[in-house]
Amino acid sequence: AYATGRGSFKTRAKVDVEQLSARRTGLVVTELPYMVGPEKVIEKIKDAVNGKKLTGISDVVDLTDRQHGLRLVIELKNGFNPNAVLQQLYRFTPMEDSFGINNVTLVDGQPQTLGLLELLSVYVNHRIDVVRRRTSFRLGKKKDRLHLVEGMLIAIVDIDEVIQIIRSSEESAEARTRLMSIYDLSEIQANYILELRLRQLTKYSRIELEKEQEELRKEIAELQAILDSPELLRTLVSDELGELAAKYGTPRRTVLLESEAVSPTVAAALTAAPGAKGKAAPLALEIADDPCWAILTVSGQIARTANQDSLAESGPRTRHDVFRSVIKTSARGEIAAVTSQGRMLRLQVMDMPVLPPTSGTPNMAGGVPAKDFITLLKGESLVAFAPLDQVLALGTAQGVVKRVQPDYPLNREDWEVIALKDKDTLVGVDSAAGDDDELVFVTRQAQLLHFSASAVRPQGRTAGGMAGIKLAAGDQVLHFGTARATDEAAVVVTIAGTEGALPGTAPGAAKVTPLAEYPAKGRGTAGVRAHRFLKGEDTLLLAWAGHGPAKASSLGGVARSLPGEHGRRDGSGIPLSQAIDAIGPSMAWPEEAAADA
């Protein structure tokens, strides 16, 4: 469709797999293709089930309302693979629909079928023609005005003689002819002088006219340069289109995914493996082991990219664009999910949804919540993704640091990566293979400590680590990560507020500072102050240190603002209400702090 102007694509419903009860799984539909309603889907599901085309469905409930929007719950029978049932639904119901494209256009009065490149070329050529004609029109207007201004300046220089000529003439035609012959004026200039009011012939008016003359000559030169240079003309068109895109452009609301049937990384589509009687056959995907990135956002979305191209850090902000972990891996590889209780869980990268290639930051709208893939214990939270073949640095809330060797068991799906003390939790995990890496602690009482990773010897996974930062009474670690103090892009972000305050009721301040401003201290020390609290502030709500520039989001994935960098490492920051946008990775803005932003 993009190449030739004729083709089709498939639209699919947006479906999440949810645990409806302790023993019952369901498919929850929150979006349907265009012109497809839930009643039509329910009717087709019932027909397919009665016709023995669909298996594994026990009930369909429409919970759509004004408050929550579309919500169609498809309950599954025990023992059925949700993905296999979903593929059947796509096949036999309107939850998957085809949309045809036929780009028949009129170009110079002739009907033509154009692909995307040709469509853009026609439009750009149209904009070039419009801008050229507009420039020519403006140039003519400027030249006409300059011609009149030059005539007025001639009249003002010898104003007494001009008035005498006009007064001694019996009619305006005679006065016009005499002015044209004496001062070598054009007919247009002479007519304009005859129509002037005396108040426009003062000394001040002459100064204004000379200034206007200079500005007109400058503008005429600029307009003439645009007409004489095709490069300048195209640059002007490009800049104007860029301004329009920045002003009126909106993020794409439909998520684009690569088709399984045509994907270069999907060799064959779905093959049905023999299953037990009365049960749906599981799905077998033949996926090429292509390099990719596995991504975890601070809002809990996970996905993988289609390739391992560099991830752009620029472009317009989108939902879920703040990444907590970005792991280099392959489509058939394995990574680990590290939890707050010091557990590592083995994850298959191929199970993650694939994001389509983009020119900017990957659009995480195609991701899924991590809770759909990872089973956490009560009171446990996901901290980060981690590679299984690198030395990792871990930091806990009680200030313990550990570097762990990658000697993980091969036949287990989860294991402990650190022996935590009572009531201690893991707060940060990051790769620290080199001894020149800097390990960074930031506490709630705004103490920052960074020291070389060489001060922490790598240990086995059953070890408990060693003292990292010395904590004051009642203090605990808020952030732990790795960075390079010599890296000019390494920054520290701190957000202060009031502990226990209701959302939006307490003042707060955010600060972004280069990490190089903070002196390194030895392991086991208290570090230096990273943020000065003002009246009404008594704790850090958030902190982050790493390769910048930094950007923030709410826990729901909505883009938030950060102040620009400044050099005062012990400063109080900028009030949240005055924060301005900044770009980069990698922290979640708390909802209570974001209320004032």
Neighbours of 59 (CB within 10 A): 12
Quick one: 80 and 127 in the same domain?
no
Quick one: 69 and 205 in the same domain?
no
Which residue shows structure tokens 């299984």? 388
Neighbours of 480 (CB within 10 A): 27
87-96, 148-157, 246-255: segment of lowest average pLDDT: 246-255
pLDDT over 70 for what percent of the chain? 87
Quick one: 508 and 542 in the same domain?
yes
The residue type of 377 is L
Quick one: 121 and 95 in the same domain?
no
CATH classification of the domain holding 78: 3.30.1360.40
Predicted pLDDT at 570: 77
What is the mean predicted confidence (pLDDT) over 74-86? Answer: 87
Decide if pLDDT at 564 tops 80: no
Predicted pLDDT at 264: 36
Please write the tens of the pLDDT for every residue from 179-203. 999 988 999 999 998 888 776 666 5
324 within some domain: no
Predicted pLDDT at 315: 66
Q: Using CB atoms within 10 A of its CB, is residue 216 exposed (0-12), middle (13-18) or buried (19+)?
A: buried
Predicted pLDDT at 238: 95
Contact 495, 479 (CB under 8 A): no
Please write the tens of the pLDDT for every residue from 277-306. 444 444 433 567 888 889 998 888 888 888
Predicted pLDDT at 237: 96
CATH classification of the domain holding 194: 1.10.268.10
Decide if pLDDT at 73 tops 50: yes
Please write the tens of the pLDDT for every residue from 100-136. 999 999 999 999 999 999 999 999 999 999 999 999 9
Last residue of a domain, one of 223, 248, 273: 248
Any idea of the CA torsion for 575, 580, 585, 591, to the nearest 10 degrees? 50
180-189, 531-540, 568-577: segment of lowest average pLDDT: 568-577
Quick one: 98 and 122 in the same domain?
no
Quick one: 122 and 97 in the same domain?
no
Q: Record the tokens describing residue 53, joined without a space.
A: 């085309």
Any idea of the CA torsion for 350, 356, 358, 362, to the nearest 10 degrees? -50
Quick one: 41 and 87 in the same domain?
yes
Decide if pLDDT at 479 tops 90: yes
Decide if pLDDT at 163 tops 60: yes
Please state, rounded to an integer, the average pLDDT across all residues of the chain.
Answer: 83
584 within some domain: yes
What is the mean predicted confidence (pLDDT) over 2-14? Answer: 91
Quick one: 34 and 76 in the same domain?
yes
Quick one: 94 and 208 in the same domain?
no
407 within some domain: no
Predicted pLDDT at 407: 85
Quick one: 492 and 516 in the same domain?
yes
Highest mean pLDDT among 317-326, 384-393, 500-509, 532-541: 384-393
Quick one: 25 and 95 in the same domain?
yes
Predicted pLDDT at 508: 74
Quick one: 40 and 128 in the same domain?
no
Last residue of a domain, one of 189, 213, 248: 248
CB burial string 268-288: b at 16+ within 10 A, e below: eebeeeeeeeeebeeeeeebe
Categorize the per-residue pLDDT at 593 as very low, low, confident or very high, splitting at 50, 70 and 90. very low
More confident residue, 283 or 209: 209
Predicted pLDDT at 82: 85
Last residue of a domain, one of 76, 102, 128: 102
More confident residue, 281 or 92: 92
374-383, 466-475, 579-588: segment of lowest average pLDDT: 579-588
Q: How many domains does the chain have?
A: 3
Please write the tens of the pLDDT for every residue from 18-35. 888 767 888 999 999 988
Name which of 146, 39, 46 is nearest 92 in CA terms: 46
Domain residues for the domain of 445 are 434-597
CATH classification of the domain holding 585: 2.120.10.90
Q: What is the CA radius of gyration of the chain?
A: 34
Q: How many Å apart are CA 212 and CA 205, to the nearest integer?
A: 10
Predicted pLDDT at 268: 33
Decide if pLDDT at 239 tops 80: yes
What is the mean predicted confidence (pLDDT) over 420-431? Answer: 91
Name which of 319, 364, 367, 365 is nearest 558 in CA terms: 319
